Amino acid sequence: MKNLTKIVLTTAALLGSATVALGQAAPSWSLAASIDAQSDYRFRGISQSNKKLVPQGAINLTGPDGWYIGTWASKINWDLAGKNDNPSIEWDIYAGKHFDLGGTDLNVEAYEYAYPDASQPVGSKDASFFEGIFTLSHTFGPLALDAVYAFSPEFSLGGGTGHYLEGQGIFTVNDWLTVSANVGHQWVENAPSDYTHADIGATASWKGVSFDARYVTTDIGAANCAGFWMGTKNACSGGFVGTIGYTITLAP
């Protein structure tokens, strides 16, 4: 679900760097920020917050020639090693570049998922992990389609190599409403099995304020959810997620 925040935030930054009058040069840099409240933070279908309301925030700097860098943070609760609210925060750092492939956008991104206060048994693998993410995007009138591939050389908590594929469609109904659907599949080397997740919902926005409502689900059973993917067995079951956020362009 963090993808929604990043899409809104990056779009705001790009719009902020657009020309304000015919013939006026666009600024080289643009800075945008967002704050959100999410009823259940889901990452690739799995609850990261024990299905509780969490605050989130992000800041994104967009530069010339498609370059960008940013950071995103959220309250979380994995109940790691039976310790409630452990870790309690996710702090991500990312950077990338957009390439124009004849009307199709290629986004190449380096993404670090960090859990600075994760408390684990001595000798256990680190919770933090890195991914290289590659996204192809194309717009057909009101319909935008994305295809995503992500690779991790060492997934969280010693999971081994990770591969991820995702497809997303966003349909613009009017100037304040979009509907979207997403399907993804995650492979992790040491997982008991790979899994599929999906979501569908709608986003309404007005003057920087957005509200998103959607249904999210996975095909992970309760035993595998608690045994490998998350510390609680109900984190992988389906549910509705609501997000309210505010995005502002800080500069120029």
CATH (domain of 83): 2.40.160.40
Segments in 80-208 forming alpha helices (H): none
CB atoms under 10 Å from CB of 209, counted, come to 11
Residue 41's domain spans which residues?
Answer: 2-251
Q: Is the pLDDT of residue 1 over 80?
A: no
- Residue 187: half-sphere exposure toward Cβ, Cα within 13 Å: 9
Q: State the average pLDDT over residues 47-64.
A: 96
What is the DSSP annotation of 171-195?
EE-SSSEEEEEEEEEEEETTSSS-E
Q: By C-alpha distance, which of 152, 219, 220, 223 is closest to 188?
A: 152
Bridge partners for 93 per DSSP: 71, 112
Q: Please state, in angstroms and rounded to a whole number, the distance separating the CA atoms of residues 177 and 196.
A: 27
Q: Is the pLDDT of residue 227 over 60?
A: yes
**Residue 141: partners with Cβ closer than 8 Å, 6 or more residues away:** none
Q: Is the pLDDT of residue 229 over 50?
A: yes
Task: Give tens-digit pLDDT for 216-226.
Answer: 999 999 999 98
Q: Please state, in angstroms and rounded to a whole number, the distance separating the CA atoms of residues 46 and 217.
A: 8
Q: How confident is the model at residue 124 (pLDDT cuts 50, 70, 90)?
A: confident
User: According to the model, what pLDDT value does residue 231 have?
Assistant: 81
Give the total number of structural domains in the chain: 1
Answer positive or negative: Cα dihedral of 193, 194, 200, 204.
positive
The residue with tokens 């389906």 is 238
Task: Give tens-digit pLDDT for 24-42.
Answer: 555 689 999 999 999 999 9
pTM for this one? 0.90
What is the SS3 assignment for 189-226?
A: CCCCCCEEEEEEEEEEEECCEEEEEEEEEECCCHHHHH
Bridge partners for 168 per DSSP: 146, 182
User: According to the model, what pLDDT value does residue 74 have?
Assistant: 98
Q: Chain-wide mean pLDDT for the chain?
A: 91
Q: Are strands 209-218 and 239-251 parallel, antiparallel or unpaired?
A: antiparallel
Task: Give tens-digit pLDDT for 145-177.
Answer: 999 999 999 999 999 999 999 999 999 999 999
Bridge partners for 133 per DSSP: 109, 150
